[in-house]
Amino acid sequence: MSAHLADLRLSRFDPLERVIFYDDFDEGIRGWSELIGNYEHTLDSMLPEYSDMRPPMLSNLTMWDTGTAGSMEGDYALKLASRARAGSLATSIKRLTFRKRGHIQLECYFTFKPEASELRLSVNDVRAFGLLFDLQDGMNPEYRWMPHLRYHNAQDGQMINRWQVKGATRAFANIGDSGETVSHFHLGPENWEYLDAPAQTLAYNEIATKMNWHYLKVNVDLAERRFLGFQCNDLIYEGEPLKYISIPAMPNLNCMLNTAFWVETNRDKRAFLYLDSVLLSGEF
Amino acid sequence: MAVRRSYTATVERNVRWAGEFATEPYEAAWASEAIFFVRALDVAPGFSGTAVVQISADGIHWADEGASFDLPTTKDQATFCKVSHFGGWLRIRGALPGSESITVLVSLALKE
């Protein structure tokens, strides 16, 4: 039996050979910060889409009707909260570098809900959530590449319940006047493509104050720059490698291994994404 | 040695307040003390305004905590308000009269 199966905290994961990080948010915020756009001289120079991506917080999932639920294992989860404005995103990122271009795997337990500010079903109030990697080769880099995986929950009044990837970003914009800083926004509504996978209805559980935790696993090969597949609960995608954003390598990003989560609201109501724990493992 | 956990959230950044304003709800049940810092990024001469601290059991329904403080009156000045024993959620709110406005960066410094 693998050693991790005997560890009560790790036995619910299937890590690769070595754990790069394991974040249980009962222990704090663990390096997850708000994503921000690049700027020069003034915050006004930032691309407006990046100006307000909201700070993460530690939540014990307290509801107005039933009190505190706590997280899946323990008391606290990492919470991303959008503003109460349709289309608002909250995005949190953890920034690392890698030491070997091998296979990496991210696993997490998550749940998502709209703010429980109305006494109605609210099942289509969250538009989407997702996770992305922001990666660049190491020595003599050729590419920066960004696998994105998005669960499109609903659009306007329609349930969608399908997984998406993104193969193209917006054009780069110059930031400031020095010629040294650029920026591109890659979380806009354009260029998402539905996967050749069935719709997946994630348990919502009838009212906005009941959360069920879900499992997600995503696999990426840094050596071959392949976005290999993913698993969410009992849906396993192991088809053709998935599309991702690819751009020429940038000057100061070598070996970058960033992981980010985001949540988008569909209405003028806050959308929340909760992460009980996140585990990144790899072969190195 | 175990150290006390702490975290500073930038709850508003480069946001212009005019009329009624409130920061986004922030969960801080793990913390026992907090300081709201408000720094003026842009403010007109002669500005004056105040904010009050609010607490909430659910992040939806809010009550005045009792503390209030002056907002900064010159660019890059910071003012602050200390809070403790606040339960689960924190925010600050206020109302600026007439054509008064201020552009702010609000930090919420939390500690176990």
Length of chain B equals 112
What does the pLDDT read at residue A26?
97
Residues of A contacting chain B (CB within 8 angstroms)? 28-29, 34, 43-44, 51-52, 54-55, 57-60, 62-64, 76, 79, 81, 83, 115-117, 270
CB A222 within 8 A of CB A229: no
For residue A52, give how far its alpha carbon lies from the nearest alpha carbon of chain B (Å).
7
Q: How confident is the model at residue A4 (pLDDT cuts 50, 70, 90)?
A: confident
Q: pLDDT at residue A165 above 90?
A: yes
What number is the average pLDDT over the span B15-25? 98
Contacts of A57 in chain B (CB under 8 A): 9, 26-28
Both tokens assigned to A21: 């990080």
Look over chain A and give the mean of its residue pLDDT values, rounded to a whole number.
96
What does the pLDDT read at residue A1?
64
CATH number at residue B61: 2.60.120.260
Q: pLDDT at residue A205 above 80?
A: yes
A66: exposed, middle or buried (Cβ count in 10 Å: 0-12, 13-18, 19+): exposed
B69 lies in some domain: yes
Percent of chain B with pLDDT over 70: 100
Percent of chain A with pLDDT over 90: 96
What does the pLDDT read at residue B2?
85
B34 lies in some domain: yes
Contacts of B24 (CB under 8 A, 6+ apart): A54, A81, A83, B11, B12, B91
ipTM over the 0.95 cut-off: yes
Structural domain total, chain B: 1
In Å, how far are A136, B74, B75, B101 from B98, measured between CA atoms? 51, 19, 20, 9
| Interface list for B 12-51 with A (CB within 8 A) | 13-15, 24-30, 41
B112–A contact, CB cutoff 8 A: no
Contacts of A83 in chain B (CB under 8 A): 24
Write the residue in B13, B27, B60 that is nearest to A58 by C-beta: B27
B7–A contact, CB cutoff 8 A: yes
Best residue in A35, A58, A263, A270 to probe B by mutation, most B CBs within 10 Å?
A58
What number is the average pLDDT over the span A107-112? 98
List the single residue in B with minimal CA-CA distance to A54: B11
- Tell me A242's DSSP state: B
Q: pLDDT at residue B103 above 80?
A: yes
What number is the average pLDDT over the span A129-154? 97
Instruction: Give the type of residue at A129.
Output: F
B3 lies in some domain: no
pLDDT tens by residue, A224-243: 999 999 999 999 999 999 99
Q: Among A107, A126, A104, which Cα is nearest to A116's?
A: A126
Write the residue in A55, A62, A83 that is nearest to B88 by C-beta: A62
Domain that holds residue B47: 8-111
Write the residue in B14, B57, B60 that is nearest to A117 by C-beta: B60
What number is the average pLDDT over the span B77-101? 97
- Tell me A172's DSSP state: P
Q: pLDDT at residue A5 above 90?
A: no
What is the interface size between A and B, counted as CB pairs within 8 Å? 54
- Greatest CA separation for chain A: 59
B19 lies in some domain: yes
What does the pLDDT read at residue A6?
86
B65 lies in some domain: yes
- C-alpha of A77 from chain center: 14
What number is the average pLDDT over the span A188-207? 96
What number is the average pLDDT over the span A150-159? 96
Instruction: Give the type of residue at B42.
Output: D
pLDDT tens by residue, A30-71: 999 999 999 999 999 999 999 999 999 999 999 999 999 999
What number is the average pLDDT over the span A261-268? 98
Structure-token match 């304003």, residue found: B21
